[in-house]
Amino acid sequence: MRIIDATWEKRNLGVTCVEATVEPADTPAAIRLRLAEPAAQYMVVKLPAGRADAMFCLSEMGYAFIEATIHVSWKVAPLELSGIQRRMADGTGHALMDDADRQVLWSELRKGVHDTDRVSLDPHFAKERAAERYVGWIQDELARGTDVYKLTYKGQPIGYFTMKHLGDGVYYPFLGGMYESHRSSGLGFLVAYKPMCEVAARGGRAISTHISTNNDRAIRIHVSLGFSFGQVTYVYVKHS
């Protein structure tokens, strides 16, 4: 079992946090031993799908299932869109954010751009705290050199996405969303499509990222854009 002291969550969520990843060799007895005494106020355990023995073990220990994440990937290839999607995409753009754009992003995140992740859905956390977590997360990533892009329509910002290079031409757009004014506009597919365009323009060879099963809209979008679906990971949490 791999255990990480998620120190950044103390600032983001106001609680100490530990994230544990169950590995194939971990038996229920080993899981009970390693997690017998909560190491933090907020415990997160990630478990490969199909481990029913570990699922029951975690439930008996008071852990609650909160989401599953799916690894999705795309190998750079010609992009095909439906007629209406093509017209929408042709009328929109994306560009790296400047300081003013980032101020807009912080404001939009605090309005609740993300509302299907494990923190936003957890009754132990206020919606405001969950939103602030994204602000802190992206600020940390900017300090590490991650690119953050704005999505635009008629020159106005309508959303955002992040982009990190994992090496060997593989890119990781790990966060993205539509701003409040355009959440029901039909343009949501751009959050996944524009990173595909950017990776292709950079000469990259693939995208590798994860989506939550709580976000059925994101699942449908990635299916429609030709992403391949891979490993599923269950996520359990416990508060103490």
pLDDT tens readout for residues 156-168: 999 999 999 999 9
Cβ partners under 8 Å of residue 233, min gap 6? 46, 47, 48, 49, 68, 69, 70, 71
Nearest to 196 by CA among 131, 133, 151, 138: 151
Give me the domains of the chain, ranges plus CATH numbers: 2-70 (no CATH), 73-230 (3.40.630.30)
CA–CA gap between residue 89 and residue 154 (Å, rounded)? 12
Q: What is the DSSP letter of 227?
A: P
The sign one gets for the Cα dihedral 141, 142, 143, 144 is: positive
**CA dihedral of residues 101, 102, 106, 112 (deg, nearest 10):** 60
pLDDT tens digits along 66-121: 999 999 999 999 988 888 888 888 889 999 999 999 999 999 999 999 999 999 99
- Residue pLDDT, tens place only, 168-190: 999 999 999 999 989 888 899 99
